[in-house]
Amino acid sequence: MSRITLSRYLIEQTRSHNTPADLRFLIEVVARACKAISHAVSKGALDDVLGSMGTENVQGEVQKKLDVMSNEILLEANEWGGHLAGMASEEMDQAYQIPGRYPKGAYLLVFDPLDGSSNIDVNVSVGTIFSVLRCPDRNGATGDLGEEAFLQPGTKQVAAGYAIYGPQTMLLLTLGNGVKGFTLDRELGSFVLTHDDIKVPETTQEFAVNMSNQRHWEAPVQRYVNELLAGESGPLEKNYNMRWIASMVADVHRILTRGGVFMYPRDGRDPAMPGKLRLMYEANPMSFIIEQAGGAATNGTQRILDIQPTSLHQRVPVFLGSKEEVERVTAYHQE
């Protein structure tokens, strides 16, 4: 049986869905960068890649060596190919300009180079999340690309995906017509299609949330989580199991595999920080994937993909996964 590699899948998409050649090339390059990151992550202490850099990113978070390395791998892989007009990343304050010596292209690439940083040093799954947007017409402007170009709602994404560096390295991808899962075959050096047409079950008995923040949540989330915990004898009349890996890629990957609801709610500690997760490179790409797999994603009051972003590193509350549960917790916010 011949295997369908990522490259072959992308070529077939060009034929069946008119996927432009430059978008196909972009995805290929991102996938190649993810292979390099997977390799770096797997070396761990052997290559002295664990631990911190002693620096902070724009969000005031300590940067791990692998955060910085992964960011550089993605920038270097993508800057020269002529398919991008600019990039933005969790690890960079401002938009990254394509160096003048290279051609520029039609797309914008936004990424979380290494998601789940707190898990790097303890050998638990981490990943890379990415989102692809079209660069708006700049009316002939030639200067630096500003942050405004990136501030498009998630509905404008033309592709999104993530790589998970776990027991297997996998790449999950949507081009807007379903979700495909590829597993890295290290002997072949290729991502091979292993999960065709991924679907999130509509109902579930599993939830994911960091319970240590419970006392800071708003009333609708308190009510919902209390109902989940009440189990069979509560209003939901079934028992729920809980999982929290603290790498969004790994929690979302589990939900894509066997269902569940993932929450990172707003909490009352810092009004300037409405949630922890970032809209542009965490919530939007994951919401696009989840919706394409038949699930739902909201910030409690609104579909995440409809949010008009106001800044590159903006944070949002996130509720995503199995439709029934996301709709329930969203309805509680409206009551």
Binding site for ligand AHG (CB under 6 A): 61, 90, 112, 115-118, 210, 246-248, 264, 276
Percent composition of the chain: helix, strand, coil (DSSP 3-state, to 5): 40, 25, 35
Q: HEC string of 233-300?
A: HCCCCCCCEECCCCCHHHHHHHHHHHCCEEEECCECCCCCCCCCEEHHHHHHHHHHHHHHCCCEEECC
Give the other-Cβ count within 10 Å of 151's Cβ.
17
CB of 118 to ligand AHG, least distance (A): 5
Q: Is 115 in the site for Mn ion (CB under 5 A)?
A: yes
CB of 31 to Mn ion, least distance (A): 19
Question: Among all residues, whose Cβ is closest to Mn ion?
Answer: 115
Report helix, strand or coil for 194.
strand
In the list Mn ion, ligand AHG, none, the entry touching 323 (Cβ below 5 to 8 angstroms by class) is: none
CB of 18 to ligand AHG, least distance (A): 33
Return d(Cα 70, Cα 85) in angstroms, integer. 20
CB of 16 to ligand AHG, least distance (A): 33
CB of 68 to Mn ion, least distance (A): 11
Q: What's 139's DSSP letter?
A: T
- Measured from the CB atom, is 240 or 264 closer to ligand AHG? 264
- Measured from the CB atom, is 228 or 289 closer to Mn ion? 289
**20 and 29 in contact (C-beta within 8 Å)?**
no
CB of 57 to Mn ion, least distance (A): 8
**31 and 218 in contact (C-beta within 8 Å)?**
no
**Distance in angstroms between the alpha carbons of the first and the last residue of the chain:** 54
Q: Is 325 in the site for Mn ion (CB under 5 A)?
A: no
- Measured from the CB atom, is 85 or 325 closer to ligand AHG? 325
- Measured from the CB atom, is 115 or 325 closer to ligand AHG? 115
Identity of the residue numbered 81: G
The position carrying tokens 């708006």 is 136
Q: Is 251 in the site for Mn ion (CB under 5 A)?
A: no
In the list ligand AHG, Mn ion, none, the entry touching 247 (Cβ below 5 to 8 angstroms by class) is: ligand AHG
In the list ligand AHG, Mn ion, none, the entry touching 276 (Cβ below 5 to 8 angstroms by class) is: ligand AHG
Binding residues for Mn ion (CB under 5 A): 90, 112, 114-115
